[in-house]
Amino acid sequence: MTKTIDLPYHFDVHGRTAIPGDNDRIREMIEQVLFTTPGERVNRPTFGSGLLRLVFAPNGDVLAAATEISVHAALQQWLADVIQVEQVTVSAEESTLQVTVVYSALESGQRQVAQFNRSM
């Protein structure tokens, strides 16, 4: 994988710009897709998943299933060359959104589980 800057930006122990490990880099990429709203990026207006809209929608099984499908599709669209998404689980409780993504990194074949929580 190509080297990128670790997000959020910070310095490593040697005072240089921090570089993420491969697993951290993939996790950060997933997080960017999940929590970016389509239309938020000027040069990529379709980038993102629209997940944050769930917080303001009424909870229910149908909405949760539809959101999981749309998040899965967004991850496949934007990260298909990096990961194979196996499962996405989304739940909203009060003002906290929890997303669990089970995926395999294509380069290593290693299966990972990433959980993301966002409070509104």
Q: Following DSSP, what letter does each residue of 27-77 receive, concatenated?
A: HHHHHHHHHPPTTSSSS-TT-S--GGGGGGSPP-HHHHHHHHHHHHHHHHH
* Segment 20-52, tens digit of pLDDT: 766 678 888 899 999 899 999 899 999 998 887
What pTM was estimated for this model as a whole? Answer: 0.76
In a domain, 106, yes or no: yes
- 90: tokens are 């989304």
In a domain, 12, yes or no: no
Q: How far apart are CA 98 and CA 92, in angstroms?
A: 6
In a domain, 97, yes or no: yes
Q: Give φ, ψ of 34 to 5 degrees.
A: -60, -45
Q: Specify the CATH number for the domain of residue 60.
A: 3.10.450.40
In a domain, 86, yes or no: yes
For the chain, give the number of residues: 120
In a domain, 10, yes or no: no
In a domain, 18, yes or no: no
* Segment 46-75, tens digit of pLDDT: 999 888 777 666 666 777 788 888 899 999
In a domain, 16, yes or no: no
Q: How many domains does the chain have?
A: 1
Range of the domain at 38: 23-119
